[in-house]
Amino acid sequence: MDTAACAPDRAPVPSAEEIAPVFDTLVVVGPGLIGSSVLRRAKEYGTLARRVIAVDISPEVCARVAELGIADEVTTDAAQAAVVADCVMLCVPVGAMGPVAASVLPAMRPGAILTEVGSTKVSVIEAITPYLRPDVPYVPAHPMAGTEFSGPDAGFATLFEDRWCLLTPLESTPADAVKAVRTLWERCGARLREMAPAHHDRVCAMVSHLPHLLAFTICGTADDLADETRSEVLDFAASGFRDFTRIAASDPIMWRDIFLLNRDALLEMLARFMEDAQAMARAIRWGDEDYIVDRIERGRKIRKSLIENRQA
Ligand code: NAP
């Protein structure tokens, strides 16, 4: 069920003086772009948690997080950190969510909340469900914010401001756990919506996964051209191609996982796109000016509404 129309989507961001932190101890597993942005927000604003602990499998990443000073504690031992958490937030690649949930859930205190930020929801929920405990509420979330960069140096405290965060709670998720995670993201400056996981995956296949697929493909096509043409592509790249290259610079493991784990919705959107691209090709071949202008005008309208919605 899409409960989009039920609640206001944006609450004012309170300061630490105005309001108590949502959690006492927040554990962030995977302090990359998303995880380190949450950590920075927590440290800089003081309204998410009194204490933040960062967990990464790599000692080098842990050392870097400690050096950046964006967590109160840093460890490679996820289970040990989970023992003291009121909330554990998984910010690892979607393909790692199941195994990481399996390692933290047995250690968590009754009543502590498990949440995650995976870009696909049906597959992540399926991967985590076998390890769930009835006394640990699970709140799936997806902050729709990002850049093409990854790792702990890439994050920043304002990443989520005015961006959507989609929550896809399960029927069994208690309302107070959803409210706590909702409040955490509101305090990151995000706008909130709740929707069903399968609906989320179809929406994201269209607005995020397909554009990345097109960007990787168009850069591959340019790269496959004869040597001389390719160097000219790079020399004269106009803004259209440049914009694709920015998206195509995204992390390969993250996007491999997203494509494979949202396979059905992505292939459906790709098939629709290819039909529409064929129709455009036919219009160009036969000089159908009206069709071409109509499509371009629809694109311009979408851009205008994005700007009006502060999402551009
Ligand atoms: P990222 O910058 O690559 O960070 C991922 C982090 O997870 C890294 O610190 C990585 O450590 C760590 N990690 C990987 N496997 C782990 C494991 N088994 N145990 C503990 N830590 C592990 O990626 P990101 O962009 O922040 O993405 C993280 C999650 O957010 C993904 O699920 C993604 O789908 C979701 N998301 C991303 C965006 C976006 O635009 N980037 C937007 C919304 C949601 P190492 O570096 O040591 O491997």
Report CA(33)–ligand 1 centroid distance (Å): 7
Residue spans per domain, the chain: 23-195, 200-308
Q: Which secondary structure element, helix H or strand E, spans residue 234, and what is its range?
A: helix 227-236
Q: What whole-number percentage of the chain has pLDDT above 70?
A: 94
23-195, which class in CATH?
alpha beta
Per-residue pLDDT tens for 163-195?
Answer: 999 999 999 999 999 999 999 999 999 999 999
Q: According to the model, what pLDDT value does residue 14 have?
A: 63
pLDDT digits 0-9 by tens, 31-71: 999 999 999 999 999 999 999 999 999 999 999 999 999 99
Choose one of 27, 28, 34 to mutate for the ligand 1 pocket test, by most ligand atoms within 8 angstroms of C-beta.
34
- Model-level pTM? 0.89
Tell the residue nearest (CA) to atom 15 of ligand 1: 92
Written as one letter, the residue type at 171 is: E
Whether the per-residue pLDDT at 306 is higher than 90: the answer is no
Please give the Cα distance from 87 to 50 (Å, whole number).
12
DSSP state of 86: S
Report the length, in residues, of the chain: 312
The residue whose CA has the least distance to atom 12 of ligand 1 is 30
The owner of tokens 């003081």 is: 46
Lining ligand 1 with CB less than 6 A are 29-35, 56-58, 61, 91-94, 96, 100, 117-119, 142-143, 146, 150-151, 251, 254
Instruction: Please tell me the class of the 200-308 domain.
Output: mainly alpha
Using the predicted structure, report yes or no on whether residue 108 has a pLDDT greater than 50: yes
The alpha carbon dihedral of 225, 228, 231, 237 has a sign of negative
